[in-house]
Amino acid sequence: MVSRVLEEIKKTIIQRLPSRVQVAKVEFEGPELVIYTKNPEIISENGDLIRELAKDLRKRIIIRSDRSVLMEPEKAIEKIHEIVPKEAEITNISFDDVTCEVIIEAKKPGLVIGKYGSTSREIVKNIGWAPKILRTPPISSEIIQRIRRTLRRNSKERKKILHQLGNRIHQETKYENDWARLTAIGGFREVGRSCLYLQTPNSRILLDCGVNVAGTDEKTSYPFLNVPEFAPDNLDAVIITHAHLDHSGFVPYLYHYGYDGPVYCTTPTRDLMTLLQLDHIDIAYREEQPLPFNVKHVKKCIKHTITLDYGEVTDIAPDIRLTLHNAGHILGSAMAHLHIGDGQHNMVYTGDFKYEQSRLLEPAVTRFPRLETLVMESTYGGKEDVQPPRNHAEKELIKTIYTTLRRGGKILIPVFAVGRAQELMVVLEEYIRTGIIHEVPVYIDGMIWEATAIHTARPEYLSKDLRDQIFHMGHNPFISDIFHKVNGMDERMDIIEGEPSIILSTSGMLTGGNSLEYFKWLCENEKNSLVFVGYQAEGSLGRRLQKGWKEIPLKEEGKTRVYKVKMDIKTIEGFSGHSDRRQLMEYVRRVSPRPEKILICHGDNYKTLDLASSIYRTYKIETKTPLNLETVRIQ
């Protein structure tokens, strides 16, 4: 069936391309159509033709060189250095025998591509190898290096995976698409272990697969994958909307459980998700509560991940097309738009989203080509969940820092590694650069540094304002001199004993990690300040401090010591990556087209129900609030 489809496509391609072009082979690689040719240079000169072909065939097209035209690697490297200007700062060149691509890593990838791709075309013309150009992050990222290494080393296996997947996706549909339904597998009427399962007569898609890190056992920590309709071996695709563990943390388990298919997400989500998954395994191991998967499964996940840019329409099953759109929550966070069947139904799953401009990101997208069912989060869906405006929050933060520094104190900001930390870094950098706060060192401890490195590797996903700064004004706030990476315990002691400073450290709720250590050192001095910028869960140390506890017993080298809290405790609201109640309601008003049905997820029971009934009363749109294990028909 697929071979017949390919035969047809090959005919069309040969007909449309200039007759000089020799098409060696045409095949599917995951969602993409790959054309192998002996004349890659001719094709690359005809960019418009390829774009038109892609549009007509409704396929994403990649051009690869036939093995026969490849230049010897050593010579090719020389040639590349000849063609590419020095200012591009190439840091690495490697060759992929399997895909016949040359992978060029450079600090300024734009200069390797050239104006309208001219330099890149020049490369393929001269050396045969098709260039794949990657950014060398200004802060080196261990995770990105690791991912790139894994993909390079497993190139052959990955090609096989993509080839099989391609054939599966491009099958004809077996059944009429006369229904579609969603099963709540986790994260409904609760926050944590988000997992939503879409079924049609032809395919089965999982949207997010998270863990509840606050769960006490298997039953409360993991999604209900034992739901009778779910089987990992007939799952077509997994879509991850963003990297936080409550959305991505259980993906490695899927591979342990027998899943062998693709994970779709943005590139930053893949990078950050890998970082968080590995950290999760580490922590669980240290705490002697091992997870039901290990590093091997994270690696398998990397090999099966297909990254998509925002707006890229992609076939992920014979009857389903996926497009990711910016969700404004963290770097790479996405809303998933699914086009089901021949336009029978369109749904959007928001994942976590922020419908407000932040320092880091643009607000969530509201316009979709078509939309019948909206599945939206409700973390701050309660009537009372109204947050102060962002500039108010920033002023509060600056005031606290200013006062603390003036009295010679230090500011500890416990913060989650991915998202809020970088948002604060951008704020601090600006206020220090513009002299509103005088220059003090800002110490970045733990995983925050690595997460920031990933941010610097993917500047295309940042807000327009930041992109302008980085690309046009040559100013990247993340690499400012004010930020110092903390390396080990000695440096920490220096910081504690040193001059006034600002410290960003994980965990965000003081439940462990270095932020807890800093707290112990700093809490008994009334000059210092502790600033909470994120949610403090019931039962966490952070929450107790918010409630005004002044004596805190903490374990230390086996004994318990009582700390007398004298430092200033401050909570600043308004930095959340979630839409508050007003933004959620406003989002529903603005989303276009107007959906016929809205399902509410990712919120405490009360907040889910409150938001649902408010939406229904205000906009007269049907709302549903399924429980985990319930199934709702959307078509």
Residues that bind a copy of itself (CB under 8 A): 175-176, 178-179, 181, 183, 199, 201, 204, 219, 224, 226-230, 627-633
CB of 352 to a copy of itself, least distance (A): 24
Dist. CA 631–CA 230, nearest whole Å:
12
Question: Closer to a copy of itself at the Cβ: 228 or 553?
Answer: 228
State both tokens at 7.
């035969």
Dist. CA 389–CA 273, nearest whole Å:
29
**Whether the Cβ atoms of residue 306 and residue 277 lie closer than 8 Å to each other:** no
Question: Closer to a copy of itself at the Cβ: 199 or 344?
Answer: 199
Looking at residue 50, its amino acid is I
CB of 597 to a copy of itself, least distance (A): 12
Question: Closer to a copy of itself at the Cβ: 189 or 325?
Answer: 189
Q: Other CB atoms closer than 10 Å to residue 118's CB: what's the count?
A: 12
Dist. CA 48–CA 541, nearest whole Å:
59
- φ/ψ bin of 311: left (φ > 0), alpha (ψ from -120 to 50), beta (otherwise): left
Task: Count CA atoms closer than 13 A to 102's CA, side-chain side.
Answer: 31
Residue ranges for the known binding site for Zn(2+) are 242, 244, 246-247, 329, 352, 602
Looking at residue 429, the DSSP 8-state letter turns out to be H
Q: Is 603 helix (H, G, I), strand (E, B) or coil?
A: coil
CB of 228 to a copy of itself, least distance (A): 4
**Whether the Cβ atoms of residue 347 and residue 322 lie closer than 8 Å to each other:** no
Question: Closer to a copy of itself at the Cβ: 190 or 352?
Answer: 190
Q: Which residues fall within 8 angstroms of residue 445, CB to CB, at 6 or more apart?
A: 486, 492, 503, 504, 505, 506, 514, 515, 518
Residue ranges for the known binding site are 242, 244, 246-247, 329, 352, 602
CB of 631 to a copy of itself, least distance (A): 3
State both tokens at 68.
């026969």
Dist. CA 184–CA 194, nearest whole Å:
9
Dist. CA 620–CA 288, nearest whole Å:
51
Q: Is 552 helix (H, G, I), strand (E, B) or coil?
A: strand
CB of 627 to a copy of itself, least distance (A): 5
Question: Closer to a copy of itself at the Cβ: 489 or 627?
Answer: 627
Dist. CA 576–CA 416, nearest whole Å:
11
CB of 241 to a copy of itself, least distance (A): 23
Cα-to-chain-centroid distance, residue 221: 21
CB of 348 to a copy of itself, least distance (A): 20
Dist. CA 324–CA 308, nearest whole Å:
7
Element housing 24 (H / E): strand 23-29
CB of 630 to a copy of itself, least distance (A): 5
Question: Closer to a copy of itself at the Cβ: 145 or 635?
Answer: 635
Dist. CA 331–CA 343, nearest whole Å:
30
Question: Closer to a copy of itself at the Cβ: 514 or 623?
Answer: 623
Question: Closer to a copy of itself at the Cβ: 151 or 629?
Answer: 629
